[in-house]
Structures are given as structure tokens and as C-alpha cells.
Amino acid sequence: MGLFKSKEERRIESEMKIRQGIRSIEKSIRAQETFAEDFIKNAQNAKRIGDNQQYLFIRGALKKTAAVKKMLQRQLLAIKNAMLIHQQAESSRQFAESMNVMAREISHIFGEMDLSKTQAQWEKAVAQAGSMEERMEVFLESMEQSAIAGSASPNEQLVSDEEIDRMIQADVIATEKAELGKLDQLDSEIAKELGVEKQKD
């Protein structure tokens, strides 16, 4: 262990000393109780044999023992109450430290927060997005116009737009007929299989 103890090490050492003091006082109280029991027996013997001088002496010692025991009990009660107050103070200290940490963190967060700058950046982003949409719209319109203008070659002018539309529509109908034909074929195969199974039965 180094020359300088940490705060936690000092706290643990203090608690150990306090608990050692409590155990020492409790041990002394038990000792006074044992002394009192012995003094009571001796006083009974002195009275039984008629030794009043010894009886008075033992009674005085017993009175002193009772006073010492009462004092030790008061000391034990005082130190236990002090421990409770210390624990309450420690809880308050921890609460104050936690609140202090949170206050610093909150202050740090608000210190870094620049809503004016954020609002300016947002407005700039919105403006850029709107400008980009406008430019994209112009660009797409330009592409479409270029495509329409470039597609009108002399040979293609011989075929009208209506004919192209009919060709597209005819291709769609042909595709639909092909799909229906496949479904009819599948239904026919399923019907054949069912017919074979009935003949087996």
C-alpha cells in the first residue's frame, strides 16, 4: 500500500475503527455484567456469614460496576446513533455529488447545443433540396424533349404513333393468350392424372 491512501481506503479504515470500538464497548459491558454477578454472589456470602464490613465494601463495588455498565451502555448508544447520522450524511453527500455531476453534464450538453446554427444549417439544406428538385425537373424535361426530338428520324415518320400503340397492345394480348394456354394445358394434365387414378380404383 502506498503512502497516500485513497478516499475509499480511508472510508473503509474509519468504518473498521468504529466497528472495533463498538465491539470493545460491547465486550466491556459483558465484562461488567460478569463482575456484577460475582459481586452479588460475594455479597450474599458476606451477609450469610455476618461480615457486614465486607458486605458494605462489595455493595459499593457493585454500585460502581452498575455505574460503569450504564456509562458504557450510553457510550454504545451514542456511537450507534453517530453511525446512523454518518450514514445519513454519506447518503446526502453521494446525492449531492451525483447531482453535481449531472448538473455539469447538462450544462456541458446545453453549452455544445447551438440551435441557431442548427436552424441555419437546416434552412440551407431545405433550400438546397428545393433547388436540386427544380434543377432535376428541368434536367428531366430537357432529356424528354431531346429524346422526342431525336426520335423523329425520316424512316420512323413512316410509322404513326397509333400503329406503335397497336403493336404494343397486340403484344400484350399475345402474352396473355400464351399464359392462358399454359393454364389450359396444366388443367388438362391434371384432369388426365385424375382420370387414371379413378380407373385404378
Domain count, the chain: 2
SS (H, E, C) 93-161: HHHHHHHHHHHHHHHHHHHHCCHHHHHHHHHHHHHHHHHHHHHHHHHHHHHHHHHHHHHCCCCHHHCCH
pLDDT for the residue numbered 28: 92
pLDDT value of residue 31: 93
pLDDT exceeds 70 at position 149: no
Cα-based distances in Å from 71 to 17, 64, 65, 66: 20, 10, 10, 9
Q: Is the domain of 76 the same as that of 126?
A: no
Residues 169 and 105 in one domain: no
Domain of residue 180, residue span: 122-148+163-200
Residue 2 domain-assigned (yes or no): no
Inter-axis angle of helices 52-112 and 7-49, to 10 degrees? Answer: 160
* 132 is a domain residue: yes
Work out whether the CA dihedral 93, 98, 103, 104 comes out positive or negative. positive
Q: How far apart are CA 101 and CA 18, in angstroms?
A: 30
Q: Is residue 159 very low, low, confident or very high in pLDDT (cuts 50, 70, 90)?
A: very low
Same domain, 95 and 20: yes
My answer on whether 108 and 129 are in the same domain is no
- Identify the CA nearest to 26 among candidates 77, 67, 65: 77
Same domain, 27 and 107: yes
Our separate counts of H helices and E strands in the chain read: 4, 0
Residue 138 to residue 146: CA distance in whole angstroms = 12
Q: Is the pTM of this model over 0.95?
A: no
